[in-house]
Chains A and B, each alone.
Chain A
Amino acid sequence: MVAATSGFDVAVIGAGIVGCAIARRFAIDGARVVILERGHDVLDGASKGNSAILHTGFDAPAGSLELDCIRAGHAEYLQIHQRMNLPLDRAGALVLAWDEEQQTALPALMAQARANGVTDIQPMERADLLQAEPHLAPEIRAGFRVPGEALIDPWSAAHAYLYQAIAHGAELRCRAEVTSARRLADRWDLHSGAGQVQAGLVVNAAGLWGDHVQRLLTGESWFQIRPRKGQFVVFDKPAAALARHILLPVPTAVTKGVVVCRTVYGNLLVGPTAEEQDDPDCATLVPETLDALRQTGIRILPALAGQEITAAYAGLRPATDEKGYRIRADLSQGLVTVGGIRSTGLSAALGIASHVAALAGGQSARQPQHWPQMPVLAEGGARDWRAPGNQGLVCHCEKVSRREIEAALTAPAPANSLGGLKRRTRVTMGRCQGFYCSAELARMTEGRFTQPLTGGGGDAG
């Protein structure tokens, strides 16, 4: 067991994208930060599966904290991404109307976008759309373009925030589920799977477990998480050429709807669904739903009919009983709650972090001293397989080199599970889903994961 540690200024509970961004902000600002994560590895909650879109906030609720955080987060990502090698595909989005009702909703949406400060949108007629997207189904009626919507790598972004936090002295503990908490006179005493931690300020960034952690800390929760599942299908690389923009439907009251877009890794994804459920821990794939998604994709881009699906995944949004973000600070209690970061947390994370730092009385004024260099995973970028000394490829579908895997296993926050290694390198995520590389991976990672690949019970486990 890890010995008791005192003397942290800030303990962040949860290493999702939001927790990582918050830890980064506090660490850069000079605080002594500890991040406690329940999983074997970081990003194992809501942040594991999303659409990977860096939103502008054009359709966010007017005047909301969410809109402010998205806009600030988007802007800061643009400022810092190059310094850390983070990809940015400025694809732009097309909001598409397929029937009359949707078409009549367009002017109001465009007005909202402008009111939200997204003033560079461009209305588009059917002919413009078909010219901009030659593979779009001919039934398309009208739409508008949002040039600022972009595609990013949801994982390397979060890892970059985390690594930068660590470079500024933050400490990450995985398999450190906070199980009980005690408020002392001027600080918190937290018990976790990785020992006891004392800190002046606790930030609850537990995502899908936010209400649960809130109850652990204060005995009750003023918000309730209602996980909303989103399933996706991923088409193989040749399909990526079929869509230039992020293709968005006219949103409904409940959901942004099913998106069709490339990924920075060069695939094409269709999703997500929006399905309410109770369990924050279980995102199941349902073949019928995946097939329906495929059909939706084909209705939008008919040429998808001949393309191969290589993967499917599901994520859970930490939605709550209300629409907005549930961020609240109680400094007399030494607690900031960052709950309900529903469906825009990837875009908003850096903005949320600044907001939280401000709530805690910080200035967010310092500039980072260290800029970790993230491995380039984006298709068409300076990938390691093109570089000398890569030590050969291990995963052939995603072209992941032996050197990249070694680097992920020895990074400041090393991969502790196959899931963690996938998110850091994309290993096994391609069309063969591990047929070729599983054996080599099992060999390379033997004894190095806290959740081993060959963990199959019995005495070999």
Chain B
Amino acid sequence: MQADVAIIGAGPAGLAAATVLARLGFTQVVVIEREAQPGGIPRHCGHSPFGMREFRRVLRGPAYADRLAAAARAVGVRIMCDTTATALLPGPVLELSTPAGIAQLAARAVLLATGTRESSRIQRMIGGQKPGGILTLGALQGMVHLNGQRPFSRPVVLGTELVSFSALLTCRQAGIHPVAMVEPGCNVIARGPSWALPRLLGVPLMMQSRITEILGRDRVEAVQIVGPDGTRRIATDGVLLTGAFRSEAGLLAMAGIAMDPDTTGPVIDSFGRLDQPGYFAAGNLLRPVETAGACWAEGQRAAEAIAAYLSGALPDREQGAELQIVGDAIRYALPQIILPARPGWHDRVQLRLARAARGELRLTQMGRIIARRRINARPERRITLSLPAGVTAAPLVLTLDERG
């Protein structure tokens, strides 16, 4: 098999990129999707709001997913579902597992848009037994929204990110009544009115608390929680793990593609390019999590970058400057390699803090501040720093001056 551009992942990022590429005149754009239907994560998000930026309407996840797929197909994109990319080979060539067996697909360029997932129980190092009834929100949403099932009825919810609050809504829809919402930090991570939701739904919010042990043989029976008031055992029939996203990057790690331990995704340059020729990445694969709209926009930019690459219009990756993070306040920043402006350029640095902090964010090049911004933010808040078009290839240093 042969394509102009092969895209792995039919989520918002992959479908947006495919649509733009087809509009730019590429006739053979193929999207590889391992699920039976395109749409990515929004397909299992029974809730709104999706689509404000893309379609100027408020849509529920599945409707939004359908529109993205329809838009791509309308311009001639081929979406291959039930097809899993199993290896990334030089070329670029993809190894695919299809219901008809193994196949190879050669392309002039490949875009990886495989998205993100939530950390598992072990990645959060929660001790205890291993009974049934421990789920991530992603798994729960699939069970509730795709199957109409109810895997537990009074779980403990871990996390207070934005998705943790949609977890409460998913639970409510399914007639599930969480017995507590647990947050290890001293603040709720999500911003805005989400704060009020637990109280509204009658779910006690336990701050500065950790689930230290899960108990139960066949099914979850209780959890042990350590908090400011000591150790408590709460009877429950499930544990719902929300957030703590990490990139779905196993395919890349196996291919030996350079990874960034801070973002958990690949190292990209300003064009979303990876360190293996012909490979690009976009969407939530790049970092723990962003909204669907942001991923969609990133997919569009990636399409432009790929088009420029295929016409020979991108500078060499080696000419880029490595972005160095100094200090412990910044958890991650991308793109990790910065090049001067061209089509499809990431025109801003995206970053997150490791802890709540305020001060002036500064990007310096050869001792000169080339971008700056005052911030006062908590860890999960989205922060960007616009890059001037004239950035050169000299080393770049990102710092947070907390006195400022």
Contact = CB atoms under 8 A, between A and B. Distances in A.
Instruction: Judge: A and B partners, yes or no.
Output: yes
Interface of A: 40, 236-238, 281-287, 290-291, 306, 308-313, 385-393, 396-397, 399, 417-418, 430-436, 438-440, 442-443, 446, 451, 453-458, 460-461
A439 B147 contact: yes
Contacts of A457: 152-154, 219, 237
Contacts of A290: 122, 125, 127
Nearest to A451: B218
Q: In the complex, which of the residues A392, A397, A418 has the most CB atoms of chain B within 10 Å of its own CB atom?
A: A392
Contact of B86 (A306, A385, A391, A433): A385
B304 interface: no
30 contacts: A237-B253, A285-B127, A285-B128, A285-B130, A385-B97, A385-B102, A386-B97, A386-B102, A389-B99, A392-B98, A396-B84, A399-B97, A431-B120, A432-B117, A433-B120, A434-B136, A435-B120, A436-B117, A438-B139, A443-B146, A453-B132, A454-B150, A456-B133, A456-B153, A456-B219, A457-B152, A457-B153, A457-B237, A460-B149, A460-B150
Contacts of A454: 143, 149-151
A389 B99 CA distance: 5
B213 interface: yes
Interface string B82-120: 101010000000000111111000000000000001101
B101 A386 contact: yes
A283 B216 CA distance: 11
Interface string B203-225: 00000000011000111000000
Nearest to B251: A396
Given A439-B143, A460-B153, A309 B84 contact: no
B161 to A, nearest CB: 15
Contact of B142 (A291, A310, A393, A440): A440
Contacts of A236: 250, 253
Contacts of B120: 310-311, 431-435
Given A440-B142, A451-B132, A287 B100 contact: no
A322 B99 CA distance: 53
B45 to A, nearest CB: 13
B173 interface: no
Contact of A311 (B122, B146, B152, B237): B122
Contacts of B84: 385, 393, 396, 399
Interface of B: 34, 36, 44, 82, 84, 86, 97-102, 117-118, 120-123, 125-130, 132-133, 135-136, 138-139, 141-143, 146-147, 149-154, 175, 212-213, 217-219, 237-238, 248, 250, 253-254, 261
B121 A433 contact: yes
Contact of A438 (B126, B128, B143): B143
B118 A435 contact: yes
A286 B127 contact: yes
B100 A442 contact: no
B127 to A, nearest CB: 5
A396 B142 CA distance: 15
A460 B118 CA distance: 26
Contacts of B118: 435
A244 to B, nearest CB: 18
Contacts of B149: 442-443, 446, 454, 460
Contacts of B136: 433-435, 438
Given A388-B101, A435-B138, A455-B133, 11 more contacts: A40-B218, A238-B254, A284-B127, A310-B122, A385-B86, A392-B98, A399-B84, A435-B120, A438-B143, A439-B44, A456-B238
Contact of A313 (B82, B117, B130): B130
Contacts of B86: 385, 399
A396 B146 contact: no
Given A238-B253, A284-B129, A438 B142 contact: yes
A436 B117 CA distance: 8
B132 A312 contact: no
A389 B153 contact: no
A439 B149 CA distance: 9
